Structure 1
Amino acid sequence: MLKGFREFLLRGNVVDLAVAVVIGAAFNAVVEKVVSSLINPLISVVFKADSLDKALMVELPGGGALAFGALIGAIINFVIVAAVVYFVFVLPMNHMRERTAKNTPEEPAAPSEQELLAEIRDLLREQRAGK
């Protein structure tokens, strides 16, 4: 039971996922600083609000409010994260994979099941004929 658990933990996908979570958490701090130091000052100039969370508020008659600014802020955060992940991680990895794919020789195609079965059939015929 413990051996299976150890194999599960050391499987490549689990380790990659753990690294991604740690990098994602650290990256979240960078995104928050970009938003608080670049985007929020621009918003305060345009919308006369401290941040998007307080901009574009629509008061409801029964109390409460719709926070369109908070939704726009979340979308901006998502776009920033997606852009950085793509340009910093995905794009370089794709280029690296292409380079390594060019340098590795192509292996000949493995025979199909039909071809393997035909070989086995022929070998069995030869064995029977030899007796």
Structure 2
Amino acid sequence: MIKGFKEFILRGNVIDLAVAVVIGGAFTAIVNSIVSSIINPIVALFYEPSEDGQFGPTIQGIYGQDVTFPLGELISAVISFFAVAIVVYFVFVYPMNHMKARAAAKAGLSKVEDEPKLPTEQEILVQIRDLLEKQQSTPRA
């Protein structure tokens, strides 16, 4: 039972997922703070905030009221996603892959297993031609 649990925990995808969730959650607060204190003010330089504090292009609606498309929230979400993804990849995923490759090299395994080489398209066509020639040259009973 413990052996099975150990194999489950040591699977790369389980560890990668757990690390990504934990670090992503912790790092999101930092990224959101940076975006709200640096990026949002830069976007606000180009757009006047609406009554509810959102900023982005404002267009007059069909019924005469102004509609603001909140670009600040969209930019904030996109930057947050990419920042978290970059940090998780370079801090955890890349080193984990490097560690796995080194462990495989120590164990004498190559990245690409010795797979049987498949024939190329040209080789298959030559084989078909030869079979057809052989079939035509043999007399039929």
Alignment-derived partner of residue 106 in structure 1: 109
Match of 2:22 in 1: 22
Matched letter for residue 44 of structure 1:
A
Structure 1 stretches of 5 or more lacking a match? 1-6, 110-131
Distance 1:101 1:53, change over 3 A: farther
Structure with the larger RCO, 1 or 2 (CA within 8 Å, 6+ apart): 2
Q: Which has the higher helix share?
A: 1
Structure 2 residue ranges without an equivalent (≥5): 114-141
In the other structure, the counterpart of 1:67 is 69
Output the TM-score relative to the length of structure 2.
0.49
Instruction: Letter of the 1:65 partner, please give it.
Output: V
Looking at structure 1, the residues matched to 58 and 105 of structure 2 have their Cα atoms a distance apart, in angstroms, of 54
Aligned to 1:80: 83
RMSD of aligned alpha carbons: 3.8
| Residues in 2 aligned to 1:38 and 1:91: alpha-carbon distance in whole angstroms | 29
Q: Give 1:40 shift.
A: 2.2
1:33 aligns with 2:33: yes
SS in structure 2 opposite 1:89?
helix
Go from structure 1 to structure 2 and tell me whether the alpha carbon gap of 1:67 and 1:33 turns closer, same or farther (over 3 Å shift).
same
Per the alignment, in what secondary structure is the counterpart of residue 104 of structure 2? helix
* CA pair 57-87 structure 1, distance change in 2 beyond 3 A: farther
Cα deviation digits, residues 91-126 of structure 1 (max 9, x gap): 22222222222212239x9xxxxxxxxxxxxxxxxx
Percent of matched pairs sharing the same residue: 42
Query: 1:104 is aligned with what amino acid?
Result: A
Query: After superposition, where does 1:86-125 map in structure 2 within 5 Å?
Result: 86-106=89-109
Structure 2 CA distance for partners of 1:72 and 1:20, relative to 1, 3 Å: closer
What is the CA–CA distance in structure 2 between the aligned matches of 1:43 and 1:95, rounded to whole Å? 39
- Residue-pair matches, total: 101
Q: Deviations over 1:23-78 (max 9, x none)?
A: 322111111122123322322334455xx942234342334625250323322222
Mark the CA change 1:84 to 1:31 in structure 2 (over 3 Å): closer, same or farther: same
| Structure 1 residue identity aligned to 2:104 | A
